[in-house]
Amino acid sequence: MPTEKQNAVTSWLSYQDAETAFNKIKAGKTTISDLAKIGFDSQSPNVTVLDPLTIRNLFVGTNSGLRLEDLPMSIQAYLKDFENCRGFKFQGDMMQSRGRGNLVARIFGFNKEDLITGWQFEAWIFVSKDKVAYTLWKGTPHISKVQRQQNPLGPFGDILRNAPQMAITSGVALAL
């Protein structure tokens, strides 16, 4: 059965690696250069750089109903220093897909079933004046899902589905 692997290029080999690295970050102490040493380099691939306006809207969006004074003091201080706000979103994942089921049904397009496993981790790091001001994270340590595609007509389903389009492009009139 076919297999497929997909992962974001990061220094983390597992969810635990990402979580361990994230837990080394200390607000008010960790600097930008410290972040790079522990695996959160803002110059690495798959990093989204957040501008001050986007950051403010994350915490006090127009529809959130939250006011600045409702937020933790560290976020309030951070957002008040608007000009020096920078943020980074780091994403890491490792996904693997393995084919399952009947090989003949898969080859002829009747039935395709894949088991998808892996993990995902996302860290949001907010920096002011070269020091980490606040951090957030979310993740899924264990992903396991089954993806099924069924086509009762197999390869004939594709032919019938594409017949009207093929007739139009070739100039042949079909009476359907």
Q: What are phi and psi of 7, to 5 degrees?
A: -150, 150
Q: 30, 22, 23: which is closest to 133 by C-alpha?
A: 30
Q: What is the mean pLDDT of residues 14-24?
A: 94
- The number of folded domains in the chain is 1
Question: Is 87 part of any domain?
Answer: yes
H/E stretch holding 126? strand 111-128
Q: What is the predicted pLDDT for the residue at 83?
A: 81
CA dist 80 and 141 (Å) reads: 34
d(CA 81, CA 135): 16
In a domain? residue 51: yes
Residue 60 lies inside a defined structural domain of this protein? yes
Q: Give me the pLDDT at residue 7, please.
A: 65
d(CA 140, CA 15): 8
Is a pLDDT exceeding 90 seen at residue 132?
A: yes
Taking the mean position of all CA atoms in its chain, how far away is CA 124?
12
Q: Could you identify the residue written with the tokens 């001050």?
A: 52
Residue 7: domain span: 3-170
Identify the band that residue 165 occupies on the pLDDT scale cut at 50, 70 and 90: low
- Please check whether residue 175 lies inside any domain of the structure: no
The DSSP code for 84 is G
Residue 161 lies in a domain: yes
Residue 161 has pLDDT above 70, yes or no: no
Position 65 scores a pLDDT of 75
The owner of tokens 């980074």 is: 88
pLDDT tens sequence across 36-94: 999 999 888 889 999 888 888 888 876 667 788 888 888 888 888 878 888 999 998 88
- pLDDT greater than 60 at residue 24: yes
